Structure 1
Amino acid sequence: MNQAQTEFRFQKYVYHGTSSVYLESFAAKLLNSEKWLPNRDFGSALYTTISLEQAEIWALQTVQKMGFDDTIDMKPCVLKIAIDAARLRELSPRMLVFMGDSIEWARFIYRHRVNTDRSSDPCGTDHPDLIIGPMGDNDTGAIVKMGQLSGKDDRWFYDQIIRDRNHRKLDTLQLGNQIAFCSEALSPCLHIAGYYLFEYGRWEYHATGRKGIRTTRLLRTRNR
């Protein structure tokens, strides 16, 4: 009997919400593990999503957390990242895919969220190169702290992160999607195709191509 084979077909673009102050840094090196924090859902990685609207929310939240500084030209920014699917298949990355929310998914997030040590990882040396799965809802950071202080288990954590701030249970599609690129070895598969800037109450798109951020030109406007 032939062994079953699974091939994931990736969409052409994914999106990353950030601040405009990081544009040049991303242009210089899109996958830069020195910039990644350890205590994230799927560990240290560049986090992207297939949803442009979701990435816009990430960008707005990023700038809000950074605080206002009138000495810095800082705007919410969403990177549009092109995926070279053929190159990605050639590299054969170690992948972990959570098709929906589950105890295993929550346990993976919990283990990585409590880890603040850059030099270690709950997966040891077997951390996947690419992880796809739902986002946790509600305030995951606060839930993690509460769980640690109270000694809560994985099942409690799972029940908390699948609910919104009104404690209403959400299904997988409502939770949102995230794709984490966890290895710099995947750099040849990705490049910044363009970016959105939020200013004057609207999102404006700028194309970059492979020549970098400085070659931008306005293509269209997305009103929100």
Structure 2
Amino acid sequence: MAQFDVSLVLPDTLYHGSTMGAIQGLRIKPINKEFWKDAKDFGAGFYTTIDLFQATTWARKPVVAMERLNKGTDPSAMVRSLPKDQIPVVAVYDCNSNLYTDNIILHDYRGESRAWAQFILSHRHSSTVDNCLCLNEFGWIHPHIACGLMADNDTGQIIEDFRSQGRDIHNRDDLEWFWTQIIRTREGRRLNGLELGDQIAFSAKL
């Protein structure tokens, strides 16, 4: 395997979609394991993006779900009816990597490669907040920062289909099937590059 001498410069500004109820906690301690969830693309962590529009989309997910259940209802009226702690918000963070002196393990997945898909499949299929399988699956500990494209489509449903069809995360054909699913929209349109969206996930060490 080639060895790369890489210097990563993180963006000056990162965005995180959330709700009003989480803002105070995010202000005090954004990288907080207490709020992490299982089965995320790059494993448990604090997810950010360089794209303000994308962060807005993340923040509006509960509203979008309500819109699907209440077709024909004025979206602005639904937002006004939300409890204050559920109102969508976007947190904006200044990013200054010069403040850190630790050795940081970083994985940067450029493009929709099979290695990117395998990393996502492992974490979506088997990892939890308290149990990451990176060491067993790949031979290295989970990175402190993981950057790359987002899986598109309904990844939760894709994982359910993966299991129900008896697929194996170590089988090359099954990985190929998973890859073809996560690079398409729900309607089946093939997406390329940044159409999929960008994410930077921070894990527990930072």
If the length of structure 1 is used for normalisation, what is the TM-score? 0.75
The equivalent of 1:99 in structure 2 is 110
Q: Measure how far apart 1:64 and its partner are.
A: 4.6
Instruction: Could you tell me which runs of 5 or more consecutive residues in structure 2 were left unpaired when the two chains were aligned.
Output: 68-77, 168-173
- Measure, in 2, the Cα distance between the counterparts of 1:97 and 1:141: 23
- Measure, in 2, the Cα distance between the counterparts of 1:63 and 1:19: 11
Paired amino acid for 1:160: Q
The equivalent of 2:119 in structure 1 is 108
Contact 2:127/2:133, CA 8 A, preserved across alignment: no
Matches within 5 A, 1:10-89: 10-64=10-64, 72-73=83-84, 74-88=86-100
Higher helix proportion: 2
Higher relative contact order (CA 8 A, sep 6+): 2
Contact 2:40/2:123, CA 8 A, preserved across alignment: yes
If the length of structure 2 is used for normalisation, what is the TM-score? 0.81
Cα 1:79/1:149, change in 2 over 3 Å: same
The equivalent of 2:199 in structure 1 is 178
Contact 2:43/2:127, CA 8 A, preserved across alignment: no
Q: Measure how far apart 1:38 and its partner are.
A: 2.3
- Measure, in 2, the Cα distance between the counterparts of 1:80 and 1:30: 11
Cα 1:71/1:174, change in 2 over 3 Å: closer
- SS in structure 2 opposite 1:179? strand
Q: Measure how far apart 1:65 and its partner are.
A: 5.1
Q: Measure how far apart 1:29 and its partner are.
A: 1.6
- Measure, in 1, the Cα distance between the counterparts of 2:97 and 2:109: 20
- SS in structure 2 opposite 1:77? strand
Cα 1:182/1:100, change in 2 over 3 Å: same
Cα 1:36/1:156, change in 2 over 3 Å: same
Instruction: Could you tell me which runs of 5 or more consecutive residues in structure 1 were left unpaired when the two chains were aligned.
Output: 187-224
- SS in structure 1 opposite 2:61? helix
Cα 1:59/1:50, change in 2 over 3 Å: same
Q: Measure how far apart 1:25 and its partner are.
A: 1.7
Match of 2:153 among 135, 138, 158: 138
Contact 2:50/2:199, CA 8 A, preserved across alignment: yes
- SS in structure 2 opposite 1:165? coil
Q: Measure how far apart 1:81 and its partner are.
A: 1.0
- Measure, in 2, the Cα distance between the counterparts of 1:9 and 1:71: 39
Matches within 5 A, 1:164-175: 164-175=185-196
1:2-48 residue CA offsets vs partner (Å, 9 max, x unmatched): x9631011110110001111111212321111221121001100000
Cα 1:14/1:61, change in 2 over 3 Å: same
The equivalent of 1:222 in structure 2 is none
1:131-179 residue CA offsets vs partner (Å, 9 max, x unmatched): 0010011111111111111123111000000001220111011111000
List, as ranges, runs of 4+ consecutive aligned residues in structure 1 with deviation greater than 3 Å: 62-71
Q: Give RMSD over aligned pairs.
A: 2.2
- Measure, in 2, the Cα distance between the counterparts of 1:66 and 1:33: 28
In the alignment of these two chains, the number of paired residues is 182
